[in-house]
Structure 1
Amino acid sequence: MSVEHILLGVLSWMPNSGYGIKKEVEISGRELGWGRLSYGSIYPKLKKLEEEGFIRAVTAEREGRMTKIYELTAKGWRELADWLRCPPAPPEIRDELVMKISFWETGLPEDRETLIEHLELRRREAEEMMRHLEEWSRNGYSAIGELGGLAMDYWLDHLRLSIEWYGRVIRYLEGPPAPPRQDPHGLYEKARRRRQDALGPEESDLPKHPRR
């Protein structure tokens, strides 16, 4: 999935400015599935699409001032359709919090409190995003297509499952530590000794919070 194709897709809804595209993606919560589009990266991509003939720019009045608005050309509509027909790439499951959890037992085993704080923060963020999507779907003015609504349902189901998982893991971490599920070669005990040898017993056993 390229930024160019996302821009073509957003412009298929309606002609828009670079700022309007960024605002649409951020406010509507579509970054959840699309990834972040930086404001500075949108204009170079729009310029490239214009130079290659996929979009054209016109000047129109928006909110009382003249603004450059972009619209798809015939070439742009065809490119969008061709991209939609292509089989999608395999799903990417990449989450920094989950990655950190995988390394926590060897890198910071004595400090579960910080991990709980991370999970509580993520749970609050997910709850806020879910409220946003639920309100967006019934705000009375946003256009939500039949199929776009199905995409929204996917993210709502994903958020509900994530919120439930965050709560379950927090409750687990509030209990006593348990042994590894599987460690036939004793790697976790070896990692503990390696860490202690490198840091010293006082530093390796002292719970610490990250600097604020």
Structure 2
Amino acid sequence: MERSTTMFYNTSFGSIHPALQKLERENLVTVRQEANGKRVRKIYSRTAKGAKTFQDWISEPVAVFKTKDESMLRLFYFGHIEGDVAPHIQLYIDEANNWIAALETLLRTQDLSKVPTEFQKMAFFQFATMRYGLDVIKFSKGWYEQLLEDYKAQGFE
């Protein structure tokens, strides 16, 4: 089963187009069409109003730290799984290992000094966000490893 997952924010292709249309209706972006061989591409650009709206949004303090983690919802109900749950927990550990490897590889290739000066501030925070994601995933992996150990110690298998 293929699933679409991004590192920080999940969305579907079916929700992107309506979101762009809404931004266009609100005059936050403009759209122009560009021929690309046989296909026509839509190119979206922020308007001045869109840039201001973005600045206002990004500058607002976050009121409450919230985490939306579907794995915690599923974990809450793991007691309803018939049979051994250990393989299900191991899947989370394996997924964490995949993300850790990918993020560590990506971060090793980053060099702020090679980023054009006008983009270094943006890149600094983008790299910091990747490091945060890596740290969260490493913590989660350790947490799931401890959960698996505790589960096995209970003899539920």
Residue 87 of structure 2: aligned partner? 117
Note if 1:33 corresponds to 2:8: yes
After superposition, where does 1:1-212 map in structure 2 within 5 Å? 31-34=6-9, 36-60=10-34, 65-105=39-79, 107=80, 111=83, 113=84, 115-139=85-109, 145-177=123-155
Range 58-67 or range 121-130, more displaced: 58-67
TM-score, normalising length from structure 1? 0.58
- State the distance in 2 between where 1:62 and 1:132 align: 32
1:73-106 CA distances to partner (integer Å, 9 max, x unpaired)?
101100000001111142223434333444445x
- State the distance in 2 between where 1:71 and 1:101 align: 41
Shift of 1:140: 6.8
- State the distance in 2 between where 1:44 and 1:158 align: 31
1:10-31 CA distances to partner (integer Å, 9 max, x unpaired)?
xxxxxxxxxxxxxxxx6xx7x2
Closer, same or farther in 2 for the Cα pair 1:126/1:41, shift >3 Å? Answer: same
Please state whether the residue corresponding to 1:128 is helix, strand or coil: helix
Q: Indicate if the aligned counterparts of 1:50 and 1:57 stay in contact, CA closer than 8 A.
A: yes
Please state whether the residue corresponding to 1:133 is helix, strand or coil: helix
Structure 1 unmatched runs, 5+: 1-25, 179-206, 208-212
- State the distance in 2 between where 1:131 and 1:173 align: 26
- State the distance in 2 between where 1:126 and 1:135 align: 14
Closer, same or farther in 2 for the Cα pair 1:70/1:45, shift >3 Å? Answer: same
Q: Indicate if the aligned counterparts of 1:97 and 1:118 stay in contact, CA closer than 8 A.
A: no
Closer, same or farther in 2 for the Cα pair 1:57/1:99, shift >3 Å? Answer: closer
TM-score, normalising length from structure 2? 0.76
Please state whether the residue corresponding to 1:90 is helix, strand or coil: coil
Shift of 1:173: 1.6
Structure 2 unmatched runs, 5+: 116-121
Point out the structure with max Rg over C-alpha.
Answer: 1
Question: Aligned-pair RMSD on alpha carbons?
Answer: 3.0
- State the distance in 2 between where 1:129 and 1:56 align: 35
Q: Indicate if the aligned counterparts of 1:56 and 1:72 stay in contact, CA closer than 8 A.
A: yes
The sequence identity of aligned pairs, in percent, is: 27
Amino acid at match of 2:24: E
Q: How many residues align?
A: 145
Q: Indicate if the aligned counterparts of 1:55 and 1:71 stay in contact, CA closer than 8 A.
A: yes
